[in-house]
Each structure stands twice: as structure tokens, then as C-alpha cells.
Amino acid sequence: MVSTVARADRESAANEKVNLPRVSQNLQGVKKENLMKPHTKTKGALGQIWRLHLVAAMLLVFATAAFAVPGKSKHGPKAAPDIDNFPVNADGTVSVIIQFRAGTDHGNAMKFAKRLKNHLGLVNGEAVDIPVKLLDKLLESPEVAYVTPDRKNKPAWDDAPQPVNDSIARQNYGVDGTGIGIAVIDSGVYQHDDLQSADMKSSRIVYSESFVPGDPSTNDAYGHGTHVAGILAGNGHDSAGRFFGIAPNANIINLRVLDANGAGSDSQVIAGINRAIQLKNQYNIRVINISLGRPVYESYTLDPLCQAVESAWKAGITVVVSGGNMGRDNSFGEQGYATIEAPGNDPNVITVGAMSPQGTWTRTDDIVSSFSSKGPTLLDHILKPDVMAPGNKITSLLSPGSTLGGLAPASAIIKPTQLTWLCDVFAGQSDCGATSPGPQYLQLSGTSMATPVVAGGAALMIQSNPNITPDTIKARMMKTAWKGYPAHGNTHSRDVRGNDYMSQYDAFTIGAGYLDIQAALGDSTAVNGGATSPTVVFNPLTKTASLVNGLSVVWGQSVVWGQGSLFANSVVWGQLTVDANSLVWGNSVVWGQAGTDACSMVWGQSVVWGQLSDSLNALSDGDPGDQDDSDSTDSGGTITDSESVSAPTGGAL
């Protein structure tokens, strides 16, 4: 049960951080569907963009996105601001999540509900459908602390490899995820050969449950969760070991919360998180992977989804979340800053951004994926993302007959026996040991794909040291992350339309750096306190920022962050100078002029919802990712249009 005491004080304190102009926008006539989506993209021929209009949440693009807007809900301060325009059900009800004050009885308020959908004990709440005309009556109940719409969520995709030193780590430390349970809260997981035991006698998907209303199937009708599971724990069976995951012998706990269109609600995701906590001891669930999300509408201290991931973290489960795919957005001139999505905006969890591996096994030429969302978080100004991992054009498991498999272009579907280079890489046999002639793998891009790379790394760390805590895992990953980014501080990348994007290598773009699993396993830093990501406080007069560690003990220790409120010479950020023009903090778009939309949007205290145009959001659910990830040598586990692959003839196509 999450206490709601002192939330008003926290909100008040947050509102005193920076006094800047607020961005407003006319919302009349704009229809908002707040979908929680996966953060993923699909590879295709140059210039070919296939859209999954139903797949919209944390994917590389949102048809509708949220930024912060001034003012409160017309229903009062206990109602989330986006509830005013949330879609009304056919029977005149609206789907909401009620969070109650600690120690109060739910009964009096529940009498206004028409339908109970879920008990959400994890956040001391209930998911209900309530007649719109009774909403104000509900909010008058003294037991009610806060009411939010039961927002929709979506996934974010891919499979990733060598730059994070996972193969070296597995060899040197003798770890492969054995005995570790990873909860995949996603669209379901298909019983793929690569998720079976090595002897093919049993499945490593040890538990499955659906939280999708009216659909008890735990199979992956959408095709996102299977792809994520492959990055986490695929053993390469159907590709003769060519495509395998970070922790190839870990167990998967399949908690389906997204439907065949990749959509799900907050209450479904919260129910999945709650089940993972309940099953923790039975299946040794030590890691939760959440490759989905939605826009930020209120402080993480009020958001029920953030409260749920915090509960899992406090229960001893390492929660790894995708940061979002809105890094290309420039609606307010913010150049992708302040676009981290929920629940990645929670300071406890490990929030992941995406890198483009450039088709090689070395990391020295890797660049930030242009779509990767940047910090700081809206409203709370938390420094995010925490770490980066490969997320552009990642190859992983295909769920046959799935929505993504059916909509993907032929070039994104990979059939092991079609890959002529397999015979050169492996035993020289005509079939190269590939056991299945049908399509088995799919290439996707997004922070959805980068997230399981980090989650898999966490599983390896836990196997190596079963007593390690989530805070220690986070701190060691951030401390040891690779920081050898381009000396000039920025790179350029292009989408499939040829649009050019510049990425800077500041703290809001790359966090603490590029995940290095080998280095994290070798680190012995003692973490005796929390590891919540710090809050950034901006001074509009000097255009500099400082960090507030809050209740966290870790970030005050010089071994991790260095001395002082600024990370000038810290181990995490590297040897960089901290000021308005430094590589740590990025360019003036964040600091900007105090009266500009970009500065107000990034550092303001309220949220604005706007309709994003295609020109501002080049990546869609079907976007193949950044062009500059050329893989002509097939290094890194992906293939591109330039390679020789026979046209698929069967299976899901």
C-alpha cells in the first residue's frame, strides 16, 4: 500500500523550484487518446514507412503526445488535468483509477462506481468505470486522494548485443541468467524454440497470465513481448546460435497487459506489476522489464503507474523501463528534451535510452539514436535517462501471425535458412544448423529494444551476486557505464525520409553513459543508501543547473558522482566542465531564454497537450529507425536492405 500522506507538501515544494512562464495551447477540438505504447520500430526498405495506427504509446512516435499544461482540471485539484478530455465510454462512464488516503475505507467512495475493474492494492486504489455525472461527487469524498484516467499504454521494441560486452561478461563470470526470473510486462510471449531449455524438453516461460479484459490468451497477438523476451533470454536455437539474448538461460514470467493492437491501460499494467511482486519468491523474480509507457500528466508522486513501479523496487525487484521514442520532437523548439515518458520518469527505476550500433561490434562508432527521448522529466525535473543500450535495428524473436509480423515489410522478417552468411559463420553446413525453415526473427527499433538489454544485464549481475540490491545494480551500472563519446560532443543521424537530426552527448541525452555489463559485474562499489536519480534545479539567471540528491545517499558519495552539487569531475559523467555550454548539460535550447516556449516547456511546472505533426515526428510505429545504422558486414546481429536475403515464401507473410 502506498501512502498518500504529504503529497500536497511535495507538490508545493516542486512548484517552488523554478518560476518560469508556462506554455499554453488551445486544446479545443483536439481529441486525446492517452495510449500507453511499446517503444519500438520496424525495419523496412528506404523511404518505406508503414504505420501501425493502433499501436501508439511508447513507440518511436505518438500520434498524440503530451507536454505539460497550465491549470488544473475543472473537476478540482484531486483530479488529474487530462481527465477533462478523456474519452467517455458508450454507457456514459469514464474509466478511472482512484487512489485513496492511507488508512481510509474505500466503501463510501466506491458506491459511485458503476463497475469495478480491478483492485489495485499496490497503490491503495481501485480501477473503476464511473458515470461522468458522478465524478464530482466521488472527488468530494474525503477518502479519495487523487483520481486519474485509466490511461492507455503501449510497447517499445528490439534485440541487442556486442557493444555492451555481454558475451565477454558471460564467459568471464560464468553467468547466463540461470535461475533468475524476469517478468515481461508486455503483449504476451510466444512459445518460441529460442525460449525453451537447451535440451528442448521444457519451456523457460515458467508462468503466464493475461490481464487483458475479455482475452485470457497469453500468446503474443501483437508481437512485441516476444521480441523483448528474445533480447532478454533467447538462446539462439533456431539460428544456430546467431541471434541470442543477454541472459540466454533466464526464466520468463509472461504477464500480458497489451492487446493485439499493442494497447493497454494503467490498471492492467499495475495489475501485472502486482502479480510479479506476489510471485517474486515462487519464481525468483528479481527483474521486471517494462518496454512501454505513456506521456507524463502529473508528478511521479501522484501517478499510480509510478507508484506501482516504486512498490516493486522496494520489494527488491529491479525495474527497468524504456525512456520513450520522442527524441526527434521539436514542437516547442525543445529539440527532444523533456520527453521522457511514464513510468520512466520515476526516480527509482532504471530508465533506458537507445543507441545505434552502426552495424559493428565495436562501440566506438555508435551514436545516440535520434528518436531516443531526453530528460529532464516534466514537472519533477528528474535527471533521466540513467543509461544507454543498443536500440536501433535490433533482431529478435518473431511471434507467428502477430500484428507486427503481418504488417512488417519483407525486409524486416528474417528466416535463418535465407541468410547465406550463416554458413560462413558457423559449421559450413548447407542449412548452417538452422532448425526451422520458416520466418523466426524480426528486426525492430526503439527504446523498447534497449530496455531488455539492461534488464538482461541486471539478471547476470544478480546471478553473480544473489544478495545484490536494485539500488546497487543501478549505481554500479551508472558508475561503470562507458563514457567514451565523440570528442566534438555531437553527431548527426537521419531517418528514412532523409531528415537530419543532431544529437548532443549531455547528461539529459545519454545519462551516465553506455551500459558495460562486463565492467558492472567487476565493480564492487558499496551502496548503503538509495539510488534515486537526482533532481535538476535550473537557475534562469545564470543558466546553470545543480543537482539535488533528495533522500538518496548514493549520489552524494564521490566514488559515484564526485564532490559537489555539480557533476563536474565525477566518475559518472567523466571529466567535463559544467556550465551552460558544456558537454554535460547540452546546448542553450534547454537553458534558452527564460521567456521562450522551449525553456518554459522544459523547466515549467505544468503540462500542455498538443497534436504533433508528421514533420515533427518522423518516426512512427512502423519506422525502420535511423538510416545511419548500416550493417553491411552483419556484425551485431542485424541485417539491412543491402544484404542478400531471399524473399520469404511462407509463414506469417
Render pLDDT for 297-309 as a digit per residue (tens, 0 to 9).
999 999 999 999 9
d(CA 427, CA 634): 17
Q: Are residues 177 and 263 in the same domain?
A: yes
Q: Are residues 451 and 570 in the same domain?
A: yes
pLDDT at 428 > cutoff 70: no
Mean pLDDT across 403-418: 76
d(CA 556, CA 550): 10
Give the model's pLDDT for residue 497: 73
Give the model's pLDDT for residue 493: 74
Q: Are residues 98 and 171 in the same domain?
A: no
Cα–Cα separations (whole angstroms), residue 182 to 185, 204, 238? 9, 10, 22
Q: Are residues 141 and 163 in the same domain?
A: no
pLDDT at 558 > cutoff 60: no
CB 289 within 8 A of CB 228: yes
Respond yes or no: is residue 448 known to be catalytic.
yes
Respond yes or no: is residue 641 known to be catalytic.
no
pLDDT band per the 50, 70, 90 thresholds, residue 512 = confident
Mean pLDDT across 200-218: 97
pLDDT band per the 50, 70, 90 thresholds, residue 451 = very high
Query: Phi/psi zone of residue 262: left (φ > 0), alpha (ψ -120 to 50 degrees), beta?
Result: left
pLDDT band per the 50, 70, 90 thresholds, residue 549 = low
Q: Are residues 463 and 500 in the same domain?
A: yes
d(CA 254, CA 261): 18
Contacts of 13 (CB under 8 A, 6+ apart): none
Check residues 380 and 545 and name the one with the higher pLDDT: 380
Give the model's pLDDT for residue 239: 82
Calculate the average pLDDT of the chain.
73
Give the model's pLDDT for residue 281: 98
Give the model's pLDDT for residue 399: 93
Please list the residues that pair with 395 across neighbouring strands: 443
pLDDT at 224 > cutoff 70: yes
Last residue of a domain, one of 150, 168, 198: 150
> Which element (helix H / strand E) includes 454?
helix 447-464
Task: Give domain status of residue 444, yes or no.
Answer: yes
Mean pLDDT across 364-373: 85
Last residue of a domain, one of 150, 175, 202: 150
pLDDT band per the 50, 70, 90 thresholds, residue 360 = low
Task: Give domain status of residue 101, yes or no.
Answer: yes
If you average pLDDT over each of 115-129, 308-322, 374-388, which comes out highest? 308-322
Which three cell numbers, joined as nine digits, stand for 486?
Answer: 565523440
pLDDT band per the 50, 70, 90 thresholds, residue 73 = confident
* Span of 15-24, 85-94, 218-227 with lowest mean pLDDT: 15-24
d(CA 635, CA 87): 46
Q: What is the radius of gyration, based on Cα positions, of the chain?
A: 23
Q: Are residues 130 and 255 in the same domain?
A: no
Mean pLDDT across 254-264: 93
Domain at 498, CATH number:
3.40.50.200
Give the number of residues written for the chain: 653
Q: Are residues 140 and 258 in the same domain?
A: no
pLDDT at 204 > cutoff 70: yes
Task: Give domain status of residue 121, yes or no.
Answer: yes
Give the model's pLDDT for residue 612: 33
Mean pLDDT across 268-275: 97
Catalytic residue among 39, 192, 224, 227: 224
Considering the chain, what percentage of its residues have pLDDT values greater than 90? 41
If you average pLDDT over each of 223-227, 523-527, 561-565, which comes out highest? 223-227
pLDDT at 403 > cutoff 50: yes
Strands 350-356 and 387-390, sheet pairing: parallel
Q: Are residues 98 and 235 in the same domain?
A: no
Give the model's pLDDT for residue 489: 57
Q: Are residues 128 and 255 in the same domain?
A: no
Catalytic residue among 95, 208, 448, 533: 448
Mean pLDDT across 443-464: 95
> At what angle are helices 224-233 and 447-464 packed, to 10 degrees?
40
Task: Give domain status of residue 379, yes or no.
Answer: yes
Respond yes or no: is residue 597 known to be catalytic.
no
pLDDT at 180 > cutoff 80: yes
Respond yes or no on whether the N-terminal peptide bond of residue 343 is cis (omega within 30° of 0): yes
Domain at 139, CATH number:
3.30.70.80
pLDDT at 422 > cutoff 60: no
Catalytic residue among 176, 186, 303, 634: 186
Count of domains for the chain: 2
Task: Give domain status of residue 49, yes or no.
Answer: no
* Span of 20-29, 191-200, 341-350, 599-608 with lowest mean pLDDT: 20-29
d(CA 24, CA 607): 8
Last residue of a domain, one of 110, 133, 150: 150
Task: Give domain status of residue 580, yes or no.
Answer: yes
Q: Are residues 128 and 268 in the same domain?
A: no
Q: Are residues 315 and 212 in the same domain?
A: yes
pLDDT at 243 > cutoff 90: no
* Span of 95-104, 156-165, 495-504, 611-620 with lowest mean pLDDT: 611-620
Q: Are residues 323 and 372 in the same domain?
A: yes
d(CA 6, CA 301): 10
Task: Give domain status of residue 36, yes or no.
Answer: no
If you average pLDDT over each of 71-85, 148-162, 561-575, which comes out highest? 71-85
Contacts of 600 (CB under 8 A, 6+ apart): 20, 21, 22, 23, 332, 594
Render pLDDT for 324-354 as a digit per residue (tens, 0 to 9).
998 888 877 778 888 999 999 999 999 999 9
Task: Give domain status of residue 489, yes or no.
Answer: yes
> Which element (helix H / strand E) includes 389?
strand 387-390
pLDDT at 359 > cutoff 80: no
Amino acid identity of residue 369, one-letter, is S
Cα–Cα separations (whole angstroms), residue 179 to 249, 282, 457? 8, 11, 14
The whole domain housing 371 covers 155-401+439-610
Q: What letter would DSSP give residue 47?
A: T
d(CA 627, CA 371): 12
d(CA 559, CA 596): 38
Whether pTM > 0.85 for this model: the answer is no
Strands 205-210 and 500-504, sheet pairing: unpaired
pLDDT at 597 > cutoff 60: yes
pLDDT band per the 50, 70, 90 thresholds, residue 635 = very low
Find the angle CA(59)-CA(305)-CA(156) to the nearest 5 degrees.
15
pLDDT band per the 50, 70, 90 thresholds, residue 293 = confident
Check residues 597 and 502 and name the one with the higher pLDDT: 502
CB 397 within 8 A of CB 554: no
